[in-house]
Structure 1
Amino acid sequence: MSLPKATSLTETLYSADAVRAIDGYIINKSEVSGFELMQRAAGAAFRRLMKQWPDVQQVVVFCGAGNNGGDGYLVAANAKRHGLEVRCVAVSAPEKLKGDADSAYQKALADGVEVTRWERYPEDARAELFRAGPVIVDAMLGTGVTGEPRQPFRQAIEACNQSGCAILAVDVPSGLDATTGATPGAVIKADVTVTFIALKAGLYIAQGPEFSGLIHFEPLVDALDGESHGQSGLAVKFDWDGVQSMLPRRPVTAHKGRFGHLLVVAGDRGFGGAGLLAAEAAARTGAGLVTLATRPEHVSSALARCPSLMVHGVTHGSELSPLIEAADAIVCGPGLGKAAWGQQMLQLVLASGKPLVLDADALNLMALRVAMKADNHVLTPHPGEAARLLGLTVPEIEADRVAAARHIQRQFGGTVLLKGAGTVVDSGEELPGVLGGSNPGMATGGMGDVLSGVLGGLLVQGLGLPDSTRLAAALHLAAANRAAMSKGYMGLLPTDIIDTLPTILGEAEGSVVRAIAGGAST
């Protein structure tokens, strides 16, 4: 079962240009004027502010020159009418405002909002300004701004970030590229972002999750009925709640032979833990049988940790070939190394024709070879490995993660899972998938090995490459988030994720388990 092609504005991630085109369609083709749309946006932002900080008494609203600034002036007007103390700061000269943004400014003045220009707050006066506003509203730079913010915006952004105040960003945090999630300069670090019309891809990928905080989507217009009106999305957002229904269901008469045999080829000398993490994660994800092929010196420790595995010490390719023949799919790469042993193992795996999950050193070795395009593999690079595969730098990969994943997929085929905040899954379909959410506790060695094992464990149970990949990415993150609730971020280990996998999977299949238990004989 594959994910449906998303047409809903609540699922599809758009570029900034596409969102502006949808916005223009609303104004030109419906009875909603641009100023009315701005009023709705401001009202939604103010309601979210009050819901998030119900005891707030003072706000400081920073406004720019465009429609984002117009939203800000109307937020200030809303706050004033509701009895809040309002400081409204014009970072750009109000006389530069035009059209709806100017109308918003005039309405704010008419409602009693006092607007002060940013340059009238010298550095020694800013502390008093921020003391007056425990909540800052950022309405400086909208979706139309790319590149590094110029002065005086850079200075205002930095002052807001250093103020210690809570920050609500209107539509996008100022300085964040709404399409790519890149941060070429100073960026507002929001606690909450209220975004409108359609979801901007940059909020969910690259640096977007770091600077956007909690994201709340307000469509503003019901008449669209979720239609994008000719605008193509960049990706489809997915999460565990949305994909867990793809998990294979187990009949009462199930046996291990129905759920596949996975071979994990991993762990050169000194890297035995990587293969063990992948193999144990696969077993915890429901693979019927898991075989680990590794260096002989790692066999005893692997069996001591997880005796349900079949562990084989392999020194030469002739010992690997019968294991490949018995497997339904193969994970290759964790701790593989780039020496002769790893090269020989990878060569045999690539020649097998079996469904493959290629990670870590398998990708590093592939980057040194002539590109081999195939449809039977999943590549799971982190940004550094992606850079090596494409001959680029990590900043170039991170500048447009969706495009980077698409380039890898076109060059190497199969399905690509580009790891990192806003994980991207691209299988060459119309729209890639972007996993919503992130977990800083996963920034430690071995997490990618666990993901490879989870992916391999799902793949051998009969799911196709794209579905297995989306499901694995979402399951991996869900388990990490659950583990972090008790372990925190700094102390999170890959084994914590493995130990939590049965809990997450058990909750997803809970209704089935209860039904079976309820019908059992006593």
Structure 2
Amino acid sequence: MTFRPPLSREQSRAVDQLAADKYHIPGVILMENAGRGCAELLIAQAPKQVLIACGPGNNGGDGYVIARHLDLAGIAVKIALFCPRERIKGDALINFRIVEAAGIEILDCSDEPLSADFAAALSEADWVVDALLGTGVTSAPREPIASAIGAINASSSGVLAIDIPSGLDCDTGQPHDPTIEAHLTATFVTPKPGYEQETAKPFVGEVHVLDIGTPRKLLAEVLGERG
């Protein structure tokens, strides 16, 4: 991939907005591309059983796409849902309904404390996908997600963070308490400014930048480039 300068939180939002408003790319297409790219990265790690921890936003939506592609590849997968179902909206809801219809197991983890089902699924998984919180987060994770992060960090599973380890500030690289300690981070379009900070390195692990189908012209526009 050609080198691309990092995109801040606001620039990343601008990419999504321009993609929809000016370049006529529905968000559900970008979500599909993001999730499929993450699934391919995870499949390359040869997982046997995967647990995908999903929050309420588009990060969770990416997780549902990943679940579908892992299931298609014959990999055992479960989803741990850390929000009430009625909070899932938009493109994420489209993909949630797909995994429901596909019969992929969904554990309701929206209540405190963490359920025994989540603890059991975590103990069985050799990889966990962190699809809890995205780049928009600027404060410490709240319950029950905070407890989930602690449990994932304490497990022996490999951890793939989607776009950003939950709890990390993408602009400053400062971790909140708690923050996911990922082995791999799959981030989209470009790196994020905070990932190069020393404070972030114990949390992001090995960073992979994935394309999701945004036009080169769009990216140049957000970066303020000519030509």
The verdict on a shared fold, with TM-score over 0.5 as the criterion, is yes
**Deviation of the 1:129 alpha carbon:** 1.5
Structure 1 residue 189 and structure 2 residue 181: aligned? Answer: yes
Contact 2:181-2:203 within 8 A present in 1 as well: yes
Corresponding letter in the other structure for 1:50: I
Q: Please name the residue that 1:91 is paired with.
A: 82
Segments of 5+ residues of structure 2 without an aligned counterpart are none
- Measured in 1, the distance between the counterparts of 2:59 and 2:154 equals 22
Q: Please name the residue that 2:7 is paired with.
A: 14
Q: Per the alignment, do residues 22 and 84 of structure 1 end up closer, same or farther by CA in structure 2, a change over 3 Å counting?
A: same
- Measured in 1, the distance between the counterparts of 2:30 and 2:83 equals 22
The structure number with the bigger radius of gyration is 1
Q: Please name the residue that 2:64 is paired with.
A: 73
Q: 1:111 aligns with which of 99, 102, 106?
A: 102
Structure 1 residue 207 and structure 2 residue 219: aligned? Answer: no
Q: Per the alignment, do residues 9 and 101 of structure 1 end up closer, same or farther by CA in structure 2, a change over 3 Å counting?
A: farther
**Deviation of the 1:23 alpha carbon:** 2.0
- Secondary structure of the 1:229 match is helix
Corresponding letter in the other structure for 1:174: S
Q: Please name the residue that 1:163 is paired with.
A: 155
**Deviation of the 1:209 alpha carbon:** 1.6
Segments of 5+ residues of structure 1 without an aligned counterpart are 1-7, 234-522
- Secondary structure of the 1:14 match is coil
Matches within 5 A, 1:33-432: 33-51=26-44, 53-54=45-46, 56-118=47-109, 119=111, 122=114, 125-221=117-213, 223-225=215-217, 227-231=219-223
- Secondary structure of the 2:160 match is strand
Corresponding letter in the other structure for 1:32: I
- Secondary structure of the 2:6 match is strand
- Measured in 2, the distance between the counterparts of 1:120 and 1:79 equals 28
Q: Per the alignment, do residues 31 and 230 of structure 1 end up closer, same or farther by CA in structure 2, a change over 3 Å counting?
A: closer
- Measured in 2, the distance between the counterparts of 1:111 and 1:152 equals 26
Corresponding letter in the other structure for 2:19: I
RMSD across aligned C-alpha pairs, in angstroms? 2.1
Question: Residue deviations 1:131-161, cap 9 Å, x none?
Answer: 3211000000001111111111111111110
Q: Per the alignment, do residues 127 and 97 of structure 1 end up closer, same or farther by CA in structure 2, a change over 3 Å counting?
A: closer
How many aligned positions are there? 224
**Deviation of the 1:95 alpha carbon:** 1.3
Contact 1:18-1:232 within 8 A present in 2 as well: no
Of Structure 1 and Structure 2, the greater helix share is in 1
Sequence identity (%): 32
- Secondary structure of the 1:189 match is coil
Contact 2:9-2:136 within 8 A present in 1 as well: yes
Contact 2:132-2:145 within 8 A present in 1 as well: yes
Q: Per the alignment, do residues 183 and 94 of structure 1 end up closer, same or farther by CA in structure 2, a change over 3 Å counting?
A: same
Q: Which runs of 4+ in 1 moved over 6 A?
A: none
Using structure 1 for the length normalisation, give the TM-score. 0.41
Larger RCO of the pair (alpha carbons < 8 Å, separation 6+): 2
